[in-house]
């Protein structure tokens, strides 16, 4: 806890913003960052205990300000386990934004579509997940000041926030699907057999982030909404080699829809807290 408190103190010394909502801006999510009325910007590399992403499309900045009048803190990019970061360092930013005051966590990011009905660019809100990383960020000594030893995970993704997202999507005319997210370590993409296994297990989308963030957020009592967008199709019988340029192009096309949807959610959920 001492390290977390040091990080919180560092941020509070440099920003007066007390966030109500925390946002994790994943791969390709730029329009939402641009929509924030930013008061203060801090680099991950300057904050004690923050991991520094190595991927060029994860900026590694903390934005503190307002989104449509709601005080927010946004993590512009995230670190991943496959980059070599420790599990604690990956999730500590979530604990830190909660200690800053955020009660709601909204995460975004790219994913692979396992459902044959998925198309590139589809937005999918996560209703549940499979932790297939072989790890838990809650293992080890419990941080009693943050949450219980055995946090309940019967509803890791908040049903009220999910309904707000559905209603917002309907109002905006944005198709929004729902599904189960399979969290894997990576960085390699899965094999045909692995994709078939994930589908058999009940997964609709697959990705290399999110799950550990959600575990620590729920441990600390935060309400969580996760919206992913399909940037590659993972159908075993029609699998194509990964194309990073296409993934980034699809992410850029989905970006305006992510911005509109999350802004609507933040306006509704943030104003009722």
Over residues 28-87, the pLDDT tens digits come to: 899 999 999 999 999 999 999 888 877 766 578 999 999 999 999 999 988 889 888 899
Mean pLDDT value across residues 135-151: 96
Mean pLDDT value across residues 86-101: 94
Mean pLDDT of the chain: 93
Q: Compute the distance between CA of residue 50 and CA of residue 230 in angstroms, rounded to an integer.
A: 28
* Pick from 14-23, 73-82, 162-171, 221-230: least confident: 73-82
pLDDT the model gives residue 13: 96
Q: Compute the distance between CA of residue 110 and CA of residue 123 in angstroms, rounded to an integer.
A: 9
Q: Compute the distance between CA of residue 75 and CA of residue 97 in angstroms, rounded to an integer.
A: 9
Bond prior to 36 in cis (omega within 30° of 0):
no
Mean pLDDT value across residues 140-164: 96
Q: Is the pLDDT of residue 123 over 80?
A: yes
Mean pLDDT value across residues 250-265: 94
pLDDT the model gives residue 246: 87
C-alpha distances in Å from residue 113, one per residue of 30, 158, 217 = 22, 22, 25
CA atoms within 13 A on the CB side of 97: 34
Q: What is the pTM of this model?
A: 0.94
Q: Is the pLDDT of residue 137 over 70?
A: yes
Percentage of residues in the chain with pLDDT exceeding 90? 81
Residue 5 CB-density burial (10 A; 0-12 exposed, 13-18 middle, 19+ buried): middle
CATH level 3 topology of 2-271 = Rossmann fold (3.40.50)
Q: Compute the distance between CA of residue 87 and CA of residue 95 in angstroms, rounded to an integer.
A: 13
Mean pLDDT value across residues 121-148: 96
Q: Beta strands of 193-273 (E only): which ranges?
A: 205-207, 223-233
C-alpha distances in Å from residue 98, one per residue of 18, 63, 236 = 10, 15, 39
Q: Is the pLDDT of residue 273 over 60?
A: no
Q: Compute the distance between CA of residue 125 and CA of residue 227 in angstroms, rounded to an integer.
A: 4
- Top-confidence residue, 114 or 59: 114
What secondary structure letter does DSSP report for 191? P
Q: Compute the distance between CA of residue 188 and CA of residue 210 in angstroms, rounded to an integer.
A: 17
Q: Residue 49: count other Cβ atoms within 10 Å of its Cβ.
A: 19
CB 228, CB 108: distance < 8 Å = yes
Q: Is the pLDDT of residue 195 over 70?
A: yes
End-to-end CA, the chain: 27
CB 214, CB 125: distance < 8 Å = no
C-alpha distances in Å from residue 176, one per residue of 92, 253, 261 = 30, 15, 10
């Amino acid at each position: 806890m001492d390290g977390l408190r040091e990080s919180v103190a560092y941020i509070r010394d440099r920003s007066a913003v007390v966030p109500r909502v925390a946002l994790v801006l994943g791969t390709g999510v730029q329009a939402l960052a641009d929509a924030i009325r930013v008061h203060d910007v801090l680099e991950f590399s300057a904050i004690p205990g923050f991991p520094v992403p190595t991927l060029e499309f994860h900026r590694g900045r903390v934005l503190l300000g307002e989104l449509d009048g709601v005080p927010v803190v946004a993590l512009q990019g995230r670190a991943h386990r496959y980059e070599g970061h420790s599990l604690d360092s990956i999730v500590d930013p979530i604990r830190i934004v909660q200690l800053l005051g955020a009660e709601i966590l909204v995460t975004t990011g790219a994913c692979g579509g396992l459902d044959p009905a998925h198309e590139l660019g589809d937005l999918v809100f996560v209703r549940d997940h499979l932790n297939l990383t072989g790890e838990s960020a809650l293992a080890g000594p419990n941080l009693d000041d943050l949450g219980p030893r055995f946090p309940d995970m019967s509803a890791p993704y908040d049903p009220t926030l999910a309904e707000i997202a559905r209603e917002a999507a309907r109002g905006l005319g944005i198709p929004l699907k729902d599904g189960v997210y399979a969290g894997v370590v990576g960085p390699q993409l899965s094999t045909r057999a692995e994709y078939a296994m994930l589908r058999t297990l009940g997964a609709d989308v697959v990705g290399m982030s999110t799950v550990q963030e959600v575990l620590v957020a729920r441990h600390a009592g935060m309400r969580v909404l996760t919206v992913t967008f399909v940037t590659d199709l993972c159908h075993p019988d029609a699998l194509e080699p990964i194309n990073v340029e296409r993934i980034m192009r699809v992410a850029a096309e989905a970006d305006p829809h992510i911005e509109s949807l999350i802004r609507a959610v933040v306006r509704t959920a943030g104003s009722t807290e």
